[in-house]
Amino acid sequence: MFKKSFTVATVLFAILFLITACSDSASEDQQTTEPAPTNQSDNQDKTEPAHNQLQLPQEHLQKNDTGDAVQSLQEALHKIDYSIDPNGTYDSMTTWAVTDYQMQQESLPVTGIFDDDTRSSLNETLENNTTIKPGSELEKPDNDHSNIVSNPHEILSLINKENSLPDGFEPVNLVVPDVRFPFEDFLPKKQMRQVAATALENMFEAADEEGLELFAQSGYRSFDRQDAIFASNVQEHGEEAANNFSARPGESEHQTGLTMDVTSPDVDFRLTEEFGETDEGQWLEQHAAEYGFIIRYPEGKEDITQYQYEPWHLRYVGEKAATDIMEQAITLEEYLR
């Protein structure tokens, strides 16, 4: 009887030992095969591509804009090796970086303005980790030479008697806008930069729908051409008088490719103050800004612009700036202060 009890106890003990051993083994296996839980956000930080953490602004941005959206853009530009301060102000350095980037992309208009096309392109650059070479197309601004425009490609560049274009500057993407001219032959002065030419075409089309007759008279002028024009005016009127209505070479907006002088049959296609009194001239004063143009030398602002009133002289600056300038009845000089 005792032997039987001992045998049963021994068997039960052995079974209990086996069960315990299996349980411990399973626990060890589980600890070996199942990794310790990790913080999901930490894991995402390690694996998520860097560009996904950069949110590019949705709004259009340009010189003198400020805020978080500008800072986000600056951080993205810094990510592709532009050494600019993410200070939240769309300053000359940010404008330079955007312009230089645009010049390295064949499909982008060169404006210095952060728009939808630039946003899309910059997103692709970040996603594909495309190499960008800052300053390879446009030299970094040199503040030691403030009288020379460092970024003549941006559409908000200020060209006047105090701010001249760099030697040898020629605008990019010059085309002939599909609008009326009072002459048929091709001349260089028919040309404008593509971005301005497209806007001019849209404006002329709108004027046509109103029954108006706008004609384009004079757009792009080279340095040499402006030199000849100024010399001729000096010879005819004297230097002091010529300086009130004619720009010296390097100081003419026409050299940027962003300007077009316009006229109408009512003034015999002349460039005269009387144009401002025509239906076409009055319509431009009210609607030019809708297409990104301003009357660059308005009446009553001669002390600021240092040029006489020229209702025919249209300068492309983009719709945002043009609207602000025309609504406030100010000049480009005042807008950029």
Superfamily of domain 54-135: PGBD-like superfamily/PGBD (1.10.101.10)
Q: Taking a C-beta distance cutoff of 8 angstroms, is the pair 248, 224 a contact?
A: no
Alpha helices in 210-297 (DSSP H): 223-237, 239-245, 279-287
Residue 246 is predicted with a pLDDT of 87
Let me know if 207 is exposed, middle or buried by CB neighbors in 10 A (0-12, 13-18, 19+): buried
Residue 314 is predicted with a pLDDT of 99
Let me know if 282 is exposed, middle or buried by CB neighbors in 10 A (0-12, 13-18, 19+): middle
Single-letter amino acid code for the residue at 24: D
* pTM for the predicted model, two decimal places: 0.81
Q: Kindly name the residue from 310, 319, 327, 334 that is annotated as catalytic.
A: 310
Q: How many helices (H) and strands (E) does the chain have?
A: 12, 6
187: left (phi over 0), alpha (psi -120 to 50) or beta: beta
Residue 52 is predicted with a pLDDT of 52
Residue 143 is predicted with a pLDDT of 64
210 catalytic, yes or no? no
Best CATH choice for the domain 155-335 from the list 3.40.80.10, 3.30.1380.10, 1.10.260.40, 1.20.58.220: 3.30.1380.10
Residue 244 is predicted with a pLDDT of 84
Rounded to whole angstroms, the Cα distance separating 222 from 136 reads 24
Contacts of residues 163-171 at CB distance under 8 Å and 24 or more positions apart, as own/partner, are 163/251, 164/248, 164/250, 164/251, 165/223, 165/250, 165/251, 165/255, 165/256, 167/223, 167/250, 168/223, 169/223, 169/255, 170/222, 171/220, 171/255, 171/256, 171/257, 171/258
Q: Taking a C-beta distance cutoff of 8 angstroms, is the pair 317, 330 a contact?
A: no
pLDDT in tens, the chain (337 residues): 444 444 444 544 444 444 444 444 444 444 444 444 444 444 444 444 444 568 899 999 999 999 999 999 999 999 999 999 999 999 999 999 999 999 999 999 999 999 999 999 999 999 999 999 999 999 998 765 568 999 999 999 999 999 999 988 999 999 999 999 999 999 999 999 999 999 999 999 999 999 999 999 999 999 999 889 999 999 899 988 888 888 888 999 999 999 999 999 999 999 999 999 999 999 999 999 999 999 999 999 999 999 999 999 999 999 999 999 999 999 999 999 9
Q: Taking a C-beta distance cutoff of 8 angstroms, is the pair 153, 174 a contact?
A: no
Q: Taking a C-beta distance cutoff of 8 angstroms, is the pair 302, 309 a contact?
A: yes
Q: Six-digit token pair at 330?
A: 């100010």
The single residue listed with the structure tokens 């032959």 is: 185
3-class secondary structure, 315 = strand
Residue 27 is predicted with a pLDDT of 44
For residue 12, the cross-strand partners are none
| Domain boundaries, given as residue ranges, for the chain | 54-135, 155-335
